[in-house]
């Protein structure tokens, strides 16, 4: 049942992203703090509705005649009704501001659905670019990216086991299932404010997609190694590597953003991890000092993020075509620069959360034509169309010597 608070929070949340440019996950964390923990259904409706509107945003705006505009209160009301009618649970009894002409809206929707860019609510240039990259397979990839994802947990095996965490969730009546491929992954089938759970505060798990966890496993780290996570960000994969190393050895987490590294350090303390050192890349000297230092270097490169659009649907509206060109150049620069930190006999891993070959296989092929002494050990593409995980690419090389 729709309440006034849910109504206003859904619209406020969507407008904070659409109009004001805030990130959806941050907006929802702020909004949902006002709900008591017992209001699980209300919190789920707000979260799923904000993400749902973003997922279908372009089609909803165009069908209601609002594409390219900032809707006023009446228009927001009609757009929300259209969302609930087509993709959610429409409440006829709610005191809507204004009832739309459903016949006209439905006709407009059906006309728009004939066009792939509207069908999957993506910019025209993304549709054209993706089709050039993937051909007829583009449709199935887009369809998978429109599906609402599970929340996925990575079990911190330093503090618990997957079975123990599964049983904890079961006692809280949170439905979950074990991932068949990734031993550390649990899928939560019902949206849950995971940051409120005692197990999260105790460091027993992190939220990390199963595809992302496959990247960490692909690196092949072992206890006692010297490892560099060269684009660590706030540290999802860094923490996974530390757990795989059983807190033994050393991980250097590098990034240009000091705030993200601070967040990583806090997450590491919560998880009981103490073999991570963070360093801000504020000059080329940081990289030069680490020449031939690491057994394994992970370059989880900045990319389009297209593989995680189902999880971050607002991101597909933020990227511009010229951004891709800059990202591809940055990826090449990072590969050439950061491979120098790998010691002879060590391993370089390149990974993206992109579905576009230009950021993946084409970068791999380009890099192998450069004057670098590495040979490829393997590669893997995790397609979002293949199952319940985001899209990732990974490749690794061994350094000769």
Take residue 40 and report the two structure tokens written for it: 């699980």
175, 180, 382, 383 from 387: Cα distances, Å: 19, 11, 9, 8
Residues 1, 91: Cα–Cα separation, whole Å: 7
Those residues whose C-beta lies under 8 Å from the C-beta of residue 309, and which sit 6 or more positions away, are 145, 315, 316
**Centroid of chain to Cα 282:** 26
Residues 338, 142: Cα–Cα separation, whole Å: 33
| Residue found under tokens 């150049």 | 329
Residues 322, 267: Cα–Cα separation, whole Å: 34
Q: Cα Rg for the chain, rounded, in angstroms?
A: 22
Catalytic residue among 219, 231, 303, 353: 353
Which of helix, strand or coil describes residue 223?
A: coil
Bridge partners for 154 per DSSP: 185, 206
Q: What DSSP line would sit under 114-177, residue for residue?
A: TSHHHHTT--HHHHHHHHHHHGGGHHHHHHHHTSPPPEEEEE-TTT--HHHHHHHHHHTT--EE
Q: Are 154 and 205 in contact (CB under 8 A)?
A: yes
Take residue 309 and report the two structure tokens written for it: 């659009």
Q: Are 354 and 298 in contact (CB under 8 A)?
A: no
20, 274, 341, 359 from 14: Cα distances, Å: 9, 39, 43, 30
Those residues whose C-beta lies under 8 Å from the C-beta of residue 41, and which sit 6 or more positions away, are none
Q: What DSSP line would sit under 308-320, residue for residue?
A: GTTTSGGGGGT--
Residues 81, 86: Cα–Cα separation, whole Å: 9
Judge whether 219 counts as a catalytic residue. no
List strand residue ranges (DSSP E) for 238-338, in order. 250-255, 276-280, 294-300
DSSP code for 337: H
116, 215, 271 from 236: Cα distances, Å: 34, 11, 12
Active site residues: 353
């Amino acid at each position: 049942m729709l309440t006034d608070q849910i109504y206003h929070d859904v619209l406020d949340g969507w407008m904070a992203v659409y109009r004001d440019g805030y990130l959806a996950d941050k907006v929802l964390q702020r909004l949902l703090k006002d709900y008591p923990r017992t209001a699980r259904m209300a919190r789920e409706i707000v979260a799923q509705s904000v993400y749902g509107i973003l997922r279908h945003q372009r089609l909803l705006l165009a069908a209601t005649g609002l594409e390219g505009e900032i809707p006023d209160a009446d228009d927001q009301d009609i757009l929300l009704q259209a969302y609930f009618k087509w993709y959610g649970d429409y409440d006829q009894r709610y005191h809507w501001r204004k009832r739309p002409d459903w016949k006209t809206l439905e006709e407009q929707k059906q006309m728009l659905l004939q066009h792939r860019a509207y069908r999957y609510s993506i910019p025209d240039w993304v549709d054209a670019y993706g089709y050039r990259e993937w051909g007829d397979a583009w449709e199935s990839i887009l369809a998978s990216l429109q599906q609402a994802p599970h929340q996925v947990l990575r079990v911190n095996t330093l503090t618990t086991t997957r079975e123990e965490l599964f049983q904890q969730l079961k006692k809280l009546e949170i439905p979950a299932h074990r991932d068949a491929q990734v031993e550390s992954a649990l899928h939560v089938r019902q949206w849950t404010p995971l940051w409120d759970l005692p197990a999260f505060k105790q460091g027993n798990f992190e939220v990390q997609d199963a595809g992302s966890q496959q990247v960490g496993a692909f690196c092949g780290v072992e206890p006692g190694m010297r490892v560099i996570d060269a684009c660590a960000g706030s540290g999802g994969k860094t923490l996974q590597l530390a757990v795989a190393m059983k807190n033994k050895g050393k991980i250097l987490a590098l990034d240009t953003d000091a705030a993200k590294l601070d967040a990583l350090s806090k997450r590491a303390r919560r998880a009981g991890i103490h073999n991570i050192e963070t360093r801000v890349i504020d000059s080329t000297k940081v990289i030069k000092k680490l020449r031939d230092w690491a057994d394994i270097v992970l370059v989880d490169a900045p990319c389009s993020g297209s593989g995680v659009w189902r999880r971050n649907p607002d991101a597909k509206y933020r990227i511009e075509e010229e951004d891709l060109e800059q990202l591809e150049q940055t990826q090449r620069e990072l590969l050439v620069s950061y491979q120098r930190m790998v010691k002879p006999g060590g391993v370089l891993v390149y990974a993206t959360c992109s579905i576009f070959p230009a950021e993946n296989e084409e970068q791999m092929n380009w890099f192998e034509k450069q004057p670098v002494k590495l040979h490829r050990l393997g590669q893997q593409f995790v397609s979002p169309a293949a199952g319940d995980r985001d899209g990732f690419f990974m490749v690794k090389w061994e350094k000769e010597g």
